[in-house]
Copies of this chain bind each other. A is one copy, B any other.
Amino acid sequence: MNEFDLIKKYFDWGQDIGDDCALVSVNRYQQLATTVDTLIEGVHFPADTTPQDIAYKALAVNLSDLAAMGATPLYFTLALTLPSVNEPWLEKFSQSLRVLAQQCSIHLIGGDTTKGALSITINATGILTKNQALLRSGAQAGDSIFVSNTLGDAALAWQQLQNQQNPSTALLENFNRPEPRIKLGQSLLGIANSCIDISDGLQQDLSHILTCSKVGASIDLDVLPLSAEVAKHIANTSDWCMVLAGGDDYELCFTVSEAHINKLKTVQEELGVMLTKIGVITLRSPVSQFRLTIEGLDKTCKSYQHF
């Protein structure tokens, strides 16, 4: 049973919990977007990760969920489970957390500290104009599909770490310090029809958009944006599954109708972030069980499983 089946079976009580954030109306004009993510030592980061990188990533993955909705960050809570009180560790953790929080204008408003195996749960909340949020459910046939930056870098770093290799500084930076695409998400409000952050791999996360939007998609391996290192790895191994299903990218995948493509070019220039068209949204074939066609892929990739 994967995470999504588990949630659907045991925790979907009719409240619609299937987007990057939950939305809550708090006044006539605005909605809160709230999300929670846990990072566990040995599962989400290696045991020798620095406290600075752990703190950064714990907050960044939550900010990425806010970004995927187009929300403006407001506040977060921190539930920190520590094996013991290590003051130099805490000093570095807290400083790094504070720097990213200040950069993204999000405020720590409360928390809990407990004793146990190292684990960090952050609950982040942002704000949006009512009914403006970028949802997984808005993709339309004919939309172009875009992703930000490059894919697969974090997955390659993780594979190298597990094989006792030393990833390059650039790969490690992608793995430990994913940049939350807050400004991009905000800029996509009114432009994108749908959006998700790629935390479990492009294949699985794009499939969420297709399921929620009741559409299909065709993407093309040849145009996927890759760093030189990932391109070299693929050339040597043909391991496209690292890019499609490796996870931990925290880039945005979103769809834009023809009418808004020009606006997107302006966004790209203003933010200086690479945006690549990787395919198109299609009408879903009523007879096909495969909603996502990946041109150039001659096998199936097993998506990241939480259990």
Chain B minimum-CB-distance residue to A113: B3
B6 touching A111 by the CB < 8 A rule?
A: no
Interface string of A52-83 (1 = CB under 8 A from B): 00000000000000000000001101110110
A10 touching B123 by the CB < 8 A rule?
A: no
The stretch of A13-21, A150-158, A245-253, A269-277 in contact with B is A13-21
The stretch of A84-92, A132-140, A169-177 in contact with B is A84-92
Q: Which of A1-52 contact B (CB under 8 A)?
A: 1, 3, 6-7, 9-11, 13, 15, 17, 21-22, 24, 26-27, 30, 32, 34-38, 40, 42-44
A110 touching B17 by the CB < 8 A rule?
A: yes
Whether A115 is near chain B, meaning CB under 8 Å from some CB there, is: yes
B13 touching A85 by the CB < 8 A rule?
A: no
A43-B114, A108-B13 known; A79-B38 Cβ under 8 A: yes
| A170 to B9 alpha-carbon distance, docked (Å) | 33
A37 contacts which of B11, B34, B112 (Cβ < 8 Å)? B112
Chain B positions within 8 Å of A40 at CB level: 81, 114-116
B116 touching A117 by the CB < 8 A rule?
A: yes
Chain B minimum-CB-distance residue to A83: B307
Whether A260 is near chain B, meaning CB under 8 Å from some CB there, is: no
Chain B positions within 8 Å of A82 at CB level: 307
B123 touching A36 by the CB < 8 A rule?
A: yes
Chain B minimum-CB-distance residue to A40: B116
| A184 to B78 alpha-carbon distance, docked (Å) | 28
| A10 to B21 alpha-carbon distance, docked (Å) | 28
A21 touching B110 by the CB < 8 A rule?
A: yes
| A78 to B21 alpha-carbon distance, docked (Å) | 13
A85 touching B119 by the CB < 8 A rule?
A: no
| A74 to B3 alpha-carbon distance, docked (Å) | 25
B6 touching A43 by the CB < 8 A rule?
A: no
Whether A109 is near chain B, meaning CB under 8 Å from some CB there, is: yes
Q: Top 8 A-B pairs ranked by shortest CB distance?
A: A27-B27, A22-B109, A26-B26, A22-B110, A10-B94, A123-B123, A40-B116, A121-B121
20 contacting pairs across A/B (C-beta < 8 A): A1-B85, A10-B91, A10-B93, A13-B108, A17-B109, A22-B110, A26-B27, A27-B27, A36-B77, A36-B111, A37-B112, A38-B114, A43-B116, A79-B123, A81-B119, A112-B121, A113-B306, A115-B306, A116-B117, A123-B123
11 more A-B contacts (CB under 8 A) besides A10-B90, A36-B111, A85-B307? A7-B113, A13-B101, A17-B108, A17-B110, A24-B74, A24-B75, A24-B109, A36-B79, A40-B81, A43-B114, A119-B119
